[in-house]
Amino acid sequence: MPIYEYVCDTCKSRFELMRPFSRANEGASCPKCQGKAERVISRCFAVSKGEGGTTAPVAGTGSSCGSCSAGSCSGCSH
């Protein structure tokens, strides 16, 4: 089941929900304030393995999330 990212209209909190494709575009209830939340486009991060076996980022490097210590994106303040 895919994970979708949502932002609360009331408190602007970002959170993730695991939902089936059939419910992807439904609104959600914010876990912090129970306000209405809408699905947003999630950022992604991709790496590529070079000839020497080292990995290098190829997408998603414009964010400060590379050094984030949160356990998941839902715990991040960015």
Percent of the chain at pLDDT > 70 equals: 67
Between these two residues, 58 and 18, which has the higher pLDDT value?
Answer: 18
Q: Which of the given ranges, 28-37, 56-65, 68-77, has the highest pLDDT on average?
A: 28-37
1: pLDDT strictly greater than 50: yes
Q: What is the pLDDT of residue 75?
A: 54
Residue 38 and residue 18: Cα distance in Å, rounded? 14
Q: How many CB atoms lie within 10 A of CB 42?
A: 13
Among candidates 17, 20, 23, 19, which has minimal Cα distance to 5?
A: 17
**Does the predicted model carry a pTM greater than 0.85?**
no
Q: What is the pLDDT of residue 64?
A: 47
